[in-house]
A and B are shown apart, each in its own frame.
Chain A
Amino acid sequence: MTSQAIAEQPMANNSMQQKYSGKPILTMADVRGGYGDADILQGINMQVTEQEIVVIVGPNGAGKSTAMKAIFGLLKVRGGSIVVNGTEIAGWKPNRIVQHGVCYVPQVNNIFREMTIHENLEMGAFLRKGDIYESLERVYTLFPDLKERRNALAGNLSGGQRQMVAMGRALMLNPSLLLLDEPTAGLSPKYMEQIFEITRNLRNAGLSILLVEQHAKQALAFADKGYVLAAGNNRHEGTGQELLADREVAEMFLGG
């Protein structure tokens, strides 16, 4: 089947018009939800297609992390639909979503501090019954620093290395979609570049990535697509370059 034919296949549960080419991995349509009674997300629309890095930017409290938690079943979704790989997953429990090929690196508390690097990675592969050797080697190849210190407690590592452990853990299940919530927050420029580099390599290897970033300019520079969220709503969307070139976006959200 040609890619043209794939693109023309009607997607199950997906009424959204397809704006970008490629097979959709994640489609969020009009997603509403929050922690208590009030809706933090007031109708979010987003799409990640195959082998794409999609970057979410927006001010503090915009609901970026909340959108990721909504995908991952960590808060009550009151309306809209979340389709991953052709299946509606809104309302699923996290462990079912993991099995469906989505892995998530939260913004905070994203490692097991009292466990070694190696054990953190093993926990990432908890759902895999078989041999995890290949996945381990793959993660250790991506993050050589981790291999050296595999028996060190994760809680004793530097910020950059912790972030690598967190990403490594999420990669152990070979997900088709990876959610990264501010993986470079608080890191030195050197580590930030390294994390971005690995993110691009993962995309080039076939993974789809949804990335929340405060370092918006750097991230949009290599993003295939970007969304600007504010106050629980979509504000802007476009390719990374389009958003960088947009005057309003630059003034309001990228610090001029």
Chain B
Amino acid sequence: MVACQRRGLDQNYRRAGRAATPLSELNLENIRNLSIVAHVDHGKSTLSDRVLELTGAVDARDMREQYLDSMDIERERGITIKAQNVRVRWKGHTIHLIDTPGHVDFGYEVSRSLAACEGVVLLIDAAQGIEAQTLTNAYQALEHDLEIVAVLNKIDLPAADPDRYAAEIEKVLGLPADEILRISAKTGAGVADLLDAICERIPPPRGDAAAPLQGLIFDSYYDQYRGVVSAVRVMHGRLVSGERLRFMQAGRTHDVEEIGIRTPASVPVAELGPGEVGYLIAGIKDVGEARSGETVTSAARPAAAALEGYKDPKPMVFCGLYPVEGDDFSNLREALEKLRLNDASVTYEPETSGALGFGFRCGFLGLLHMEIVRERLEREFDLSLIATAPSVEYRAHLTDGSVVEVHNPSEMPEPQKLESIEEPYLQATILTPTEYTGTLMELCQARRGEMVRMEYLSPERLELVYRIPLAEVVMDFFDALKSRTKGYASLDYEPAGWDQADLVKIDVLLNGVPVDAFSAIAHRSAAQEYGRRMTERLRSLIPRQLFDVPIQAAIGGRIIARETVKAKRKDVLAKCYGGDITRKRKLLEKQKEGKKRMKNIGRVEVPQEAFIQALRLEE
């Protein structure tokens, strides 16, 4: 990651010479600040491409798809993970555009971006219509009192039905159908009209250039060479190069090393005035001192108050990450430290597992986030990791009245000390074609969901709102939802408090010895199933030993599932291969080596691979 962002920067500086358009004395009236928001894959980044092209920000020969998705992992997966801002010029206007991620795990990136804008372009796939995040995005924009420019995208698709979905948007979101633009971000059709509409309909920022500086930091990342680079939106006053700044929340001062704008090349400028968006480098080494939501002001002439910041997103899903090679523990620590510089939403704390050794309990915004962080750690830091099963955070109320946070099954207090346990809930919004209503209600019920609301958005589209335990969604809810609806239903959710539940800790024992890596917290009704699956899986993964190995799942002392790995009876090289004794000795050496690398659980030898496989999420 460090490397790939670095590459992006280099490229930008190289290009700066040619693309430089020194922007001084911008007239507030001519500035437009907006975010492109949409459900996953509705075409935000592709639209950004067309805008970059059409405004001449990027040369045709430098163009590539989803230009702003610069991380390797974004390009490989074809999704946006991090919001990106860029400044373009259009018919005398300066437009700051932010391409945002669509995936629910990165929803906080959207809300941050909105704080820097006066309007949004709400994209809706003309072949899909409104989906779950479309609603969330629209509501967020309304909450921030932003102008919404609704746009049906992908009208080039044969399945596109813009008339139908324009009517739907009008009915559901109250945006007049005749004001909804129709474009193809792929072919570019309608994009120029969209830019015109942006200039016409989105209001210019308001701000007082003479007032003390108030700048909102809405994103920060760490660059190996430049330190922390922040995206900043100036609300009032002027942000001037060389000035001493006060970071109001952190309570620290730093001198501006460089300010500039992204065109998308990084172009240094002398100052940024009200309404302007740009980047700020102030020799900061710790992203924690330039958090998103931070207000910067002038140290010499500070503003009276900070802007309203935003709360850091709280991790929702936790898992243990352990190096496959025990020696890699300190490398893993270093990697997490570095990664956190660019992704403050990851949390980590050292933990020890009897089975897996030393590792970290890490918190993530969701499963996709977890998967991406793990992949980045492995790729960018050359580590090989074992991840324990994802779990959520529980609150254990003890008989003595105290409350304990449980991030890990092994932290679960003894049953006799336990008064009650609470688990986190979500409010999940599902949008689905009406024909799948039955199967989805069944699914939600099976996952302990309680219906909050059910509403027909149109004769064909239904909105289902459930209150549902996060733990149920973490498992494989999304996959189940997609497979039950041929992919047509969409899901969005937000935290919805805590509730008491009948939760139990399931232990898994090998030859009578509990293995912490395999224990889990589950609802009592799902415990049996977990125990059965885990014991079965382990039976197929644990190599036969010289004695029978019972594998048991237990709640407290009660066995709920049991399998046995039968003792192995044969392990001998049949032939001596004539005089080829070398080969024979090598085979034995290998076997001996393999034995050394095994983990001993009591008398049972378990290969690393068995842990990895057993903990792998089900497809």
Q: Is the pairing of A and B real?
A: no
Binding site for A on B (CB under 8 A): none
